[in-house]
Amino acid sequence: MQSTHQAKLLEPLSSPNNSVDWRFLLPILPESKILIVGQSCDDFTRLFNKLGIEAIPWDYDFSNSIKAPLFPVTQFDIVAVPHGFPGKDLSSNPQHHLEIYQTMQFLLKPGGIILVGFSNNLGIRRKFTPGTYSSTVAQTTRLFQKAGFKEVKFYGAIPNLSMPDYIFPITRQTIGFILEHRYRTKLSARLLRWLYNPIFTAGFSHFFTSYFAVAVAPTASSENRFQVNAH
């Protein structure tokens, strides 16, 4: 899954700019109601609305206490946070971090889908950018599970979330193929064969620079769903 061209970014995180983006990871239907978190003026929002798909942007500093606004849609089929939650280091306050995920669950219909992009704290060649949402595969899995989500799946994004050349499931074959395809001119044939080794791929799966995580909200609509303040 490689981009056929590279387009110039006109503004930071203005998307879509490649032939590869996060939308194909989600079960988007003409009747879907989508919340896009993190950008008040997002190209994806405009594109969805042009297609007749209701998409609402929510730009919010998640460093503050969580208060979900009263959206025109009661609950959403999909909540997309493609560049992570805006705000300062959320990991410094684990309870607040968990409350963010609980709020996302509250905003979803039972059985709805959430996508969260994050920069990997353990990522090889990771470049720290102030304000960038960061986590790890293990931490994100725990947050989803504690908030009641299920069926958590991870997809690597190379080289970054905003302009990926590749988005791929974390499996032995896809990791080997992506790395071989990306580094075939830089590594020897002997080293390229190692990219398919199960020990190597299992270990390396936690060290990509960026990931998209996709999870499913619980289907129960009573005690398993969280309540949040609205304003």
pLDDT at 202: 67
Q: Say yes or no: 177 and 130 in one domain.
A: no
pLDDT at 90: 73
Mean pLDDT value across residues 28-47: 80
Of residues 185 and 23, which shows the higher confidence score?
23
CA distance 127 to 119: 9
* Residue 62: inside a domain: yes
* Residue 93: inside a domain: yes
CATH of the domain at 156: 3.40.50.150
Q: Say yes or no: 108 and 187 in one domain.
A: no
pLDDT at 79: 94
Q: Say yes or no: 177 and 128 in one domain.
A: no
Residue 228 phi/psi, 5° resolution? -130, 160
* Residue 9: inside a domain: no
pTM more than 0.85: no
* Residue 155: inside a domain: yes
Where helices occur in the chain by DSSP H, the ranges are: 43-50, 94-107, 137-146, 172-183, 189-194, 198-204
Residue 40 predicted with pLDDT over 70: no
Confidence band for 68, pLDDT divided at 50, 70 and 90: low
Q: Say yes or no: 58 and 39 in one domain.
A: yes
Q: Say yes or no: 127 and 159 in one domain.
A: yes
Q: Say yes or no: 138 and 186 in one domain.
A: no
Residue 128 predicted with pLDDT over 60: no
Confidence band for 3, pLDDT divided at 50, 70 and 90: very low
pLDDT at 9: 30
Mean pLDDT value across residues 5-28: 57
Q: Say yes or no: 91 and 48 in one domain.
A: yes
Mean pLDDT value across residues 195-216: 78
Domain that holds residue 181: 172-204
**pLDDT per residue as tens digits for the range 101-120:** 999 998 999 999 999 999 88
CA distance 66 to 99: 7
Burial group, residue 189, by CB count within 10 angstroms (0-12, 13-18, 19+): exposed
Q: Say yes or no: 100 and 36 in one domain.
A: yes
Q: Say yes or no: 52 and 75 in one domain.
A: yes
* Residue 223: inside a domain: no
* Residue 227: inside a domain: no
* Residue 79: inside a domain: yes
Of residues 61 and 95, which shows the higher confidence score?
95
pLDDT at 188: 75
Which tokens sit at 24?
A: 């194909």
Q: Say yes or no: 80 and 49 in one domain.
A: yes
Number of domains the chain contains: 2
pLDDT at 5: 31
pLDDT at 115: 95
Residue 157 predicted with pLDDT over 60: yes
pLDDT at 155: 93
Q: Say yes or no: 38 and 128 in one domain.
A: yes
Q: Say yes or no: 148 and 192 in one domain.
A: no
